[in-house]
Chains A and B, each alone.
Chain A
Amino acid sequence: MSSFKVFDIAGSGMSAESVRLNTVASNLANADSVSGDPTQVYQAKHPVFQTVQALGGAASQTADQASASVKVLGIEANQAAPEARYDPGNPLANADGYVYSPNVNVVEEMTDMISASRAYQNNVEVMNTARNLMLDTLKLGQS
Protein backbone atom coordinates (compact mmCIF):
# COMPACT_ATOMS: atom_id res chain seq x y z
CA MET A 1 0.00 0.00 0.00
CA SER A 2 1.50 3.25 -1.15
CA SER A 3 -0.70 5.44 1.03
CA PHE A 4 2.23 6.34 3.25
CA LYS A 5 3.26 8.74 0.51
CA VAL A 6 0.66 11.16 1.80
CA PHE A 7 2.93 11.71 4.81
CA ASP A 8 5.90 12.43 2.55
CA ILE A 9 3.85 14.92 0.54
CA ALA A 10 2.42 16.76 3.54
CA GLY A 11 5.84 16.63 5.21
CA SER A 12 7.53 18.20 2.19
CA GLY A 13 4.90 20.93 2.20
CA MET A 14 5.51 21.59 5.90
CA SER A 15 9.26 21.76 5.43
CA ALA A 16 8.93 24.14 2.45
CA GLU A 17 6.57 26.41 4.35
CA SER A 18 8.86 26.45 7.36
CA VAL A 19 11.73 27.56 5.12
CA ARG A 20 9.45 30.35 3.95
CA LEU A 21 8.66 31.28 7.56
CA ASN A 22 12.39 31.30 8.30
CA THR A 23 13.12 33.71 5.46
CA VAL A 24 10.26 35.95 6.65
CA ALA A 25 11.73 35.94 10.16
CA SER A 26 15.18 36.75 8.81
CA ASN A 27 13.80 39.56 6.62
CA LEU A 28 11.80 41.10 9.47
CA ALA A 29 14.69 40.82 11.90
CA ASN A 30 16.99 42.61 9.46
CA ALA A 31 14.46 45.21 8.33
CA ASP A 32 16.43 47.93 10.12
CA SER A 33 19.99 46.68 9.64
CA VAL A 34 21.47 49.69 7.92
CA SER A 35 24.86 49.90 6.27
CA GLY A 36 27.04 52.65 4.86
CA ASP A 37 27.87 50.60 1.78
CA PRO A 38 24.98 49.87 -0.64
CA THR A 39 26.62 46.59 -1.70
CA GLN A 40 26.90 45.35 1.89
CA VAL A 41 23.34 46.03 2.96
CA TYR A 42 20.98 43.13 3.70
CA GLN A 43 18.80 41.98 0.80
CA ALA A 44 15.34 40.50 1.35
CA LYS A 45 15.33 36.72 0.81
CA HIS A 46 12.52 34.70 -0.70
CA PRO A 47 12.37 30.93 -1.30
CA VAL A 48 11.44 29.51 -4.71
CA PHE A 49 9.25 26.40 -4.60
CA GLN A 50 9.26 23.63 -7.14
CA THR A 51 7.11 20.55 -7.61
CA VAL A 52 8.85 17.18 -7.37
CA GLN A 53 7.10 14.69 -9.61
CA ALA A 54 7.49 11.10 -8.47
CA LEU A 55 9.49 8.94 -10.85
CA GLY A 56 6.99 6.94 -12.82
CA GLY A 57 6.76 5.26 -16.18
CA ALA A 58 7.11 7.68 -19.05
CA ALA A 59 4.37 6.02 -21.07
CA SER A 60 1.24 6.71 -19.09
CA GLN A 61 0.07 8.46 -16.00
CA THR A 62 0.22 5.96 -13.21
CA ALA A 63 -0.66 6.26 -9.57
CA ASP A 64 2.98 7.06 -8.85
CA GLN A 65 2.76 10.22 -10.88
CA ALA A 66 -0.32 11.27 -8.98
CA SER A 67 1.82 12.19 -6.03
CA ALA A 68 3.75 15.42 -6.24
CA SER A 69 5.69 16.75 -3.29
CA VAL A 70 7.28 20.15 -3.08
CA LYS A 71 10.87 21.23 -2.57
CA VAL A 72 12.70 24.49 -2.08
CA LEU A 73 14.62 25.12 -5.28
CA GLY A 74 16.65 27.91 -3.76
CA ILE A 75 16.59 31.19 -1.89
CA GLU A 76 16.51 34.25 -4.09
CA ALA A 77 17.73 37.63 -2.90
CA ASN A 78 15.59 40.61 -3.81
CA GLN A 79 17.61 42.63 -6.33
CA ALA A 80 15.83 45.94 -5.79
CA ALA A 81 18.12 48.82 -4.88
CA PRO A 82 18.45 49.60 -1.16
CA GLU A 83 16.90 52.78 0.12
CA ALA A 84 19.35 55.62 0.84
CA ARG A 85 18.66 57.75 3.87
CA TYR A 86 20.49 60.91 4.95
CA ASP A 87 21.58 60.32 8.53
CA PRO A 88 25.00 61.89 9.19
CA GLY A 89 24.78 61.17 12.92
CA ASN A 90 24.78 57.42 12.32
CA PRO A 91 28.22 55.89 12.99
CA LEU A 92 27.70 53.67 9.89
CA ALA A 93 27.06 56.61 7.57
CA ASN A 94 29.36 56.98 4.56
CA ALA A 95 31.43 60.06 3.68
CA ASP A 96 28.35 61.87 2.29
CA GLY A 97 26.32 61.15 5.43
CA TYR A 98 24.07 58.48 3.90
CA VAL A 99 23.09 55.09 5.29
CA TYR A 100 21.39 52.39 3.20
CA SER A 101 18.47 50.42 4.60
CA PRO A 102 17.50 46.97 3.24
CA ASN A 103 14.86 46.47 0.54
CA VAL A 104 12.58 44.63 2.98
CA ASN A 105 8.92 45.49 2.63
CA VAL A 106 7.58 44.82 6.12
CA VAL A 107 3.91 44.75 5.08
CA GLU A 108 4.69 42.28 2.30
CA GLU A 109 6.61 40.11 4.77
CA MET A 110 3.72 40.08 7.22
CA THR A 111 1.26 38.92 4.56
CA ASP A 112 3.79 36.34 3.44
CA MET A 113 4.01 35.13 7.02
CA ILE A 114 0.24 34.71 7.29
CA SER A 115 0.14 32.86 3.98
CA ALA A 116 2.99 30.54 5.02
CA SER A 117 1.44 29.85 8.40
CA ARG A 118 -1.95 29.00 6.87
CA ALA A 119 -0.33 26.73 4.31
CA TYR A 120 1.64 25.01 7.08
CA GLN A 121 -1.56 24.47 9.07
CA ASN A 122 -3.22 22.99 5.98
CA ASN A 123 -0.44 20.44 5.67
CA VAL A 124 -0.65 19.56 9.36
CA GLU A 125 -4.39 19.05 8.96
CA VAL A 126 -3.84 16.80 5.95
CA MET A 127 -1.34 14.72 7.88
CA ASN A 128 -3.62 14.41 10.90
CA THR A 129 -6.59 13.35 8.79
CA ALA A 130 -4.53 10.83 6.82
CA ARG A 131 -3.16 9.44 10.06
CA ASN A 132 -6.63 9.00 11.55
CA LEU A 133 -7.91 7.35 8.38
CA MET A 134 -4.97 4.98 8.35
CA LEU A 135 -5.47 4.04 12.00
CA ASP A 136 -9.13 3.37 11.25
CA THR A 137 -8.07 1.18 8.34
CA LEU A 138 -5.80 -0.81 10.63
CA LYS A 139 -8.81 -1.58 12.81
CA LEU A 140 -10.77 -2.88 9.82
CA GLY A 141 -12.71 -5.99 10.77
CA GLN A 142 -11.75 -5.85 14.43
CA SER A 143 -14.69 -4.01 15.87
Chain B
Amino acid sequence: MALNLDSYLGVHAQALTLEAQRTELLAANLANADTPNYKARDIDFKAALAAAGGDSGSGSSGGATAGSVALTATNAAHIGGADSGITDAALGANLKYRVPMAPSLDGNTVDTQLEQAAFAENSVRYQATLTFLNARLKELMTAIVGQ
Protein backbone atom coordinates (compact mmCIF):
# COMPACT_ATOMS: atom_id res chain seq x y z
CA MET B 1 0.00 0.00 0.00
CA ALA B 2 1.52 3.25 -1.15
CA LEU B 3 1.46 6.23 1.14
CA ASN B 4 0.32 9.52 -0.32
CA LEU B 5 2.42 12.06 1.53
CA ASP B 6 0.09 14.89 0.51
CA SER B 7 -2.93 13.32 2.10
CA TYR B 8 -0.86 12.08 5.02
CA LEU B 9 0.17 15.61 5.95
CA GLY B 10 -3.44 16.67 5.58
CA VAL B 11 -4.57 20.24 5.67
CA HIS B 12 -1.39 21.44 7.36
CA ALA B 13 0.80 21.61 4.27
CA GLN B 14 -1.60 23.99 2.51
CA ALA B 15 -2.28 25.87 5.73
CA LEU B 16 1.44 26.53 6.16
CA THR B 17 1.73 28.04 2.66
CA LEU B 18 -1.32 30.22 3.18
CA GLU B 19 -0.09 31.37 6.59
CA ALA B 20 3.29 32.29 5.09
CA GLN B 21 1.50 34.34 2.44
CA ARG B 22 -0.67 35.98 5.07
CA THR B 23 2.49 36.91 7.01
CA GLU B 24 3.71 38.69 3.89
CA LEU B 25 0.39 40.46 3.42
CA LEU B 26 0.24 41.70 7.01
CA ALA B 27 3.88 42.78 6.80
CA ALA B 28 2.95 44.86 3.75
CA ASN B 29 0.08 46.43 5.68
CA LEU B 30 2.38 47.36 8.55
CA ALA B 31 5.11 48.67 6.24
CA ASN B 32 2.55 50.91 4.53
CA ALA B 33 1.02 52.18 7.76
CA ASP B 34 1.89 55.78 6.77
CA THR B 35 1.46 55.62 3.01
CA PRO B 36 -1.32 57.87 1.70
CA ASN B 37 -4.15 56.05 -0.11
CA TYR B 38 -2.86 52.59 0.81
CA LYS B 39 -5.71 50.15 1.42
CA ALA B 40 -5.08 47.42 3.97
CA ARG B 41 -5.64 43.88 2.73
CA ASP B 42 -6.12 40.48 4.26
CA ILE B 43 -7.27 37.06 3.14
CA ASP B 44 -10.44 35.24 4.03
CA PHE B 45 -8.43 32.40 5.55
CA LYS B 46 -11.21 29.83 5.85
CA ALA B 47 -12.37 30.31 2.27
CA ALA B 48 -8.81 30.37 0.94
CA LEU B 49 -7.90 27.16 2.76
CA ALA B 50 -11.05 25.47 1.49
CA ALA B 51 -10.17 26.58 -2.04
CA ALA B 52 -6.61 25.32 -1.60
CA GLY B 53 -7.97 21.83 -1.13
CA GLY B 54 -7.96 21.68 2.63
CA ASP B 55 -11.04 21.69 4.78
CA SER B 56 -10.68 24.25 7.54
CA GLY B 57 -13.43 22.50 9.49
CA SER B 58 -11.56 19.28 10.19
CA GLY B 59 -7.91 19.65 10.95
CA SER B 60 -7.24 16.10 12.09
CA SER B 61 -6.99 13.75 9.15
CA GLY B 62 -6.18 14.11 5.50
CA GLY B 63 -9.61 12.85 4.53
CA ALA B 64 -10.68 16.11 2.92
CA THR B 65 -7.70 16.32 0.59
CA ALA B 66 -7.71 12.64 -0.19
CA GLY B 67 -11.27 12.93 -1.42
CA SER B 68 -10.67 15.83 -3.78
CA VAL B 69 -9.55 15.10 -7.31
CA ALA B 70 -6.73 17.23 -8.70
CA LEU B 71 -5.96 17.77 -12.37
CA THR B 72 -2.67 16.58 -13.78
CA ALA B 73 -0.74 19.64 -14.84
CA THR B 74 1.91 19.29 -17.53
CA ASN B 75 2.59 23.00 -17.82
CA ALA B 76 3.32 25.64 -15.22
CA ALA B 77 0.50 27.80 -16.62
CA HIS B 78 -2.17 25.15 -16.05
CA ILE B 79 -4.81 26.04 -13.52
CA GLY B 80 -4.63 24.05 -10.32
CA GLY B 81 -1.49 22.27 -11.36
CA ALA B 82 1.26 22.41 -8.82
CA ASP B 83 0.51 22.73 -5.14
CA SER B 84 1.65 26.35 -5.04
CA GLY B 85 -0.57 27.09 -8.01
CA ILE B 86 -3.58 25.95 -6.06
CA THR B 87 -2.75 28.15 -3.10
CA ASP B 88 -1.94 31.09 -5.38
CA ALA B 89 -5.36 30.87 -6.94
CA ALA B 90 -6.93 30.35 -3.55
CA LEU B 91 -5.17 33.42 -2.24
CA GLY B 92 -6.03 35.58 -5.25
CA ALA B 93 -9.75 34.86 -5.08
CA ASN B 94 -9.90 35.47 -1.35
CA LEU B 95 -7.75 38.57 -1.17
CA LYS B 96 -9.99 41.19 0.40
CA TYR B 97 -9.72 44.80 1.43
CA ARG B 98 -10.21 45.58 5.07
CA VAL B 99 -13.19 47.68 6.09
CA PRO B 100 -11.73 50.56 8.11
CA MET B 101 -13.14 51.29 11.55
CA ALA B 102 -12.63 55.01 11.12
CA PRO B 103 -11.89 57.04 7.98
CA SER B 104 -8.60 58.88 7.71
CA LEU B 105 -7.86 62.07 5.85
CA ASP B 106 -5.05 60.60 3.71
CA GLY B 107 -7.11 57.63 2.48
CA ASN B 108 -5.03 55.08 4.36
CA THR B 109 -7.02 52.22 5.90
CA VAL B 110 -4.28 50.58 7.98
CA ASP B 111 -5.14 50.22 11.65
CA THR B 112 -1.73 49.45 13.14
CA GLN B 113 -3.06 47.88 16.34
CA LEU B 114 -5.41 45.64 14.41
CA GLU B 115 -2.67 44.59 12.01
CA GLN B 116 -0.30 43.87 14.90
CA ALA B 117 -2.91 41.66 16.52
CA ALA B 118 -3.55 39.86 13.25
CA PHE B 119 0.18 39.40 12.73
CA ALA B 120 0.68 37.95 16.20
CA GLU B 121 -2.29 35.63 15.71
CA ASN B 122 -1.01 34.51 12.34
CA SER B 123 2.48 33.75 13.65
CA VAL B 124 1.02 31.63 16.46
CA ARG B 125 -1.08 29.79 13.88
CA TYR B 126 2.01 29.25 11.76
CA GLN B 127 3.86 27.79 14.71
CA ALA B 128 0.89 25.56 15.54
CA THR B 129 0.84 24.28 11.97
CA LEU B 130 4.58 23.61 12.19
CA THR B 131 4.01 21.63 15.38
CA PHE B 132 1.31 19.55 13.70
CA LEU B 133 3.55 18.89 10.71
CA ASN B 134 6.46 17.97 12.97
CA ALA B 135 4.28 15.51 14.86
CA ARG B 136 3.13 13.90 11.60
CA LEU B 137 6.69 13.58 10.31
CA LYS B 138 7.83 12.14 13.63
CA GLU B 139 5.05 9.57 13.42
CA LEU B 140 6.24 8.65 9.97
CA MET B 141 9.84 8.33 11.16
CA THR B 142 8.70 6.06 13.98
CA ALA B 143 6.91 3.88 11.45
CA ILE B 144 10.00 3.74 9.21
CA VAL B 145 12.58 3.13 11.93
CA GLY B 146 10.30 0.90 13.94
CA GLN B 147 11.64 1.61 17.39
A contact residues vs B (CB 8 Å cutoff): 1-3, 5-6, 9-10, 12-13, 16-17, 20, 48-51, 60-63, 65-70, 115-116, 118-119, 122-123, 125-126, 129-130, 133, 136-137, 140-141, 143
B contact residues vs A (CB 8 Å cutoff): 16, 20-21, 23-28, 30-38, 41, 43, 87-88, 91-93, 95, 112, 116, 119-120, 123, 126-127, 130, 133-134, 137-138, 141
Collect the chain B residues with CB atoms within 8 Å of residue A61's CB: 91-93, 95
B35 near A66 (CB under 8 angstroms)?
no
Give bound CA distance, A11 to B47, whole Å.
30
B31 near A3 (CB under 8 angstroms)?
no
New A-B pairs, 6, CB < 8 Å, besides A49-B36, A137-B130: A16-B31, A51-B32, A66-B28, A66-B95, A69-B31, A123-B31
A136 near B31 (CB under 8 angstroms)?
no
A140 near B133 (CB under 8 angstroms)?
yes
User: B131: nearest residue on chain A (CB-CB)?
Assistant: A136
Task: Give B47 Cβ to nearest chain A Cβ, in Å.
Answer: 14
> Which of A13, A66, A130, A140 contacts B25 (CB under 8 A)?
A66
A133 near B134 (CB under 8 angstroms)?
no
A70 near B35 (CB under 8 angstroms)?
yes
